[in-house]
Chains A and B, each alone.
Chain A
């Protein structure tokens, strides 16, 4: 197995990635590391997104950790942040028989302002087959038209970019920019990237399985929804 680090991966980020991949890291610490990695991603994007209205799309399992970290890392830079959170359920296909993997959206939280953002961040703890990312991104770009789409993940599998880009026409993929700290090129027998993020993210975060994580509502969603319904500005808002 081999891991390639990107120029974004400072020594402290490398240390976070190592702790994330370590089997002994307990869920509470794992969540905090994921938050810290999100924070580093947010910081790395600050200059690019200065003064822009930004949308962040994430999955339920990433919302309170990776996505919340990105939001905090962007604080003081962007003009506003809108959030969309998706509860997906993955169904594996069969690549050898051209049957696609699918990840239908069972539920979503989507702030109305995400339809008019300048830039969209699609955040995922790890991108491998890109099935969940393509599903949620497809959904969002049918109702919005961001000029830039930042695909953000602490770790990506070696062919994740090509997997993602074949899901879209070139007028969409030319807006993609990738931000990740490490790229891995090997998977285990149970299809987890090695070292990746230390195995199955649901289990590492303390969920039993994908059905279990789909019964969870992130604090990020609960808090932003309360602000939205009470008329308070949610857009990070003004970090």
Chain B
């Protein structure tokens, strides 16, 4: 399919556009902030799509980047080519629809033609940029002929994932919806696993389900779950008699607090072998105070 796009583009977009497409694909990505911006945006979409599809029992799409496409920074490919969502990311100062040798509007037009030629049912193309004012301005000035399949989206840029999580609520919320709690250190850990899986798959379309399973293979991942937990007899009784100590396992991890000062989350899930071992130690040692218990809360 991907190599076919070059041949197809000659037919449906013309020789000049096809030569540009070949050159664009050959050039690849230079790295730096542009690639980082694309990675963060891909992670945001992957996390959001896990919630929207996999966790709702719906088919997962393929995700790709650097494909042989006119709009190729990030693409969501829905089942059997029913819909392709293309995203062009611009983390630069000067962005317009019509300037430069290869205007963004032209890329969007050619992408629509290419997808129609390939039999893709529905095409959307979105320009993504970090500045809210600029995004608003470009949204209002989308050229008329591409407006029914084009959009503009604002997505912040941060030099690091931790920085971005502090300033981009869309990314933070997408990851938090999968995470055991809303603490940024847990969300960052989960986000870093998405980044790792995404960059490992870069260059080839990957199924979101495969990417998600890759994330789940890491420990700790802090992914929320509603698994049923097997609790040893006495375990709960021992913990409940420690004054000021509280815990919950409702999100798939053992989260605890003591008085107003101490709190934590065990790094392994409540369905893991390690949690069973943790329970076994508590039952064996029968701590009666928090000071006897705390060294086990790791």
| Chain A residues within CB distance 8 Å of chain B | 87, 89, 91, 93-94, 97-100, 102-112, 134-135, 138-139, 142, 166-169, 211, 214-217, 222, 225, 228-229
Contacts and interface: CB of A to CB of B under 8 A. Distances in A.
A139 B263 CA distance: 13
Contact of A109 (B161, B262, B266): B262
10 contacts: A89-B267, A97-B199, A100-B188, A102-B189, A104-B220, A104-B222, A105-B185, A108-B264, A135-B162, A138-B166
Contact of B36 (A98, A102, A108, A167): A98
Contacts of A99: 192, 195-196, 199
Contacts of A106: 264-267, 298
Given A138-B184, A167-B162, A211-B298, A98 B39 contact: yes
A138 B39 contact: no
B298 A142 contact: no
A107 B195 contact: no
A66 to B, nearest CB: 21
A82 B194 CA distance: 36
A102 B160 CA distance: 11
B36 A229 contact: no
B137 interface: no
Nearest to A212: B298
B-side interface mostly: helix
B263 A107 contact: yes
B188 A135 contact: yes
Contacts of A142: 184
A189 B144 CA distance: 58
A74 to B, nearest CB: 21
Nearest to A169: B167
Contacts, number: 105
B135 to A, nearest CB: 19
Given A167-B160, A169-B166, A100 B192 contact: yes
Given A98-B36, A99-B195, A225-B262, A138 B162 contact: yes
A215 B259 CA distance: 20
Interface in B126-141: none
A211 B162 CA distance: 24
A113 to B, nearest CB: 10
Contact of B261 (A87, A91, A110, A217): A110
Nearest to B297: A107
A228 B261 contact: yes
Given A100-B162, A104-B185, 4 more contacts: A87-B298, A100-B195, A134-B162, A228-B260
A98 B195 contact: yes
Contacts of A91: 189, 192
Interface of B: 35-36, 39, 159-163, 166-167, 183-186, 188-189, 192, 195-196, 199, 220, 222, 244, 259-267, 291, 294-298
B163 A168 contact: yes
A102 B264 contact: no
Given A100-B192, A104-B185, A217-B295, A109 B160 contact: no
Contacts of A98: 35-36, 39, 195, 199
B261 A225 contact: yes
Contacts of B35: 98
A229 B166 contact: no
Nearest to A211: B298
B259 A229 contact: yes
A200 to B, nearest CB: 19
A225 B261 CA distance: 7
A169 B184 CA distance: 15
Task: Enumerate the 6 nearest inter-chain pairs by beta-carbon distance, A residue then B residue, closest first.
Answer: A107-B264, A166-B159, A104-B185, A104-B189, A214-B298, A102-B189
A237 to B, nearest CB: 15
A210 to B, nearest CB: 10
A192 B185 CA distance: 24
B196 A102 contact: no
A102 B192 contact: yes
Contacts of B184: 138-139, 142
A173 B196 CA distance: 28
A94 B196 CA distance: 8
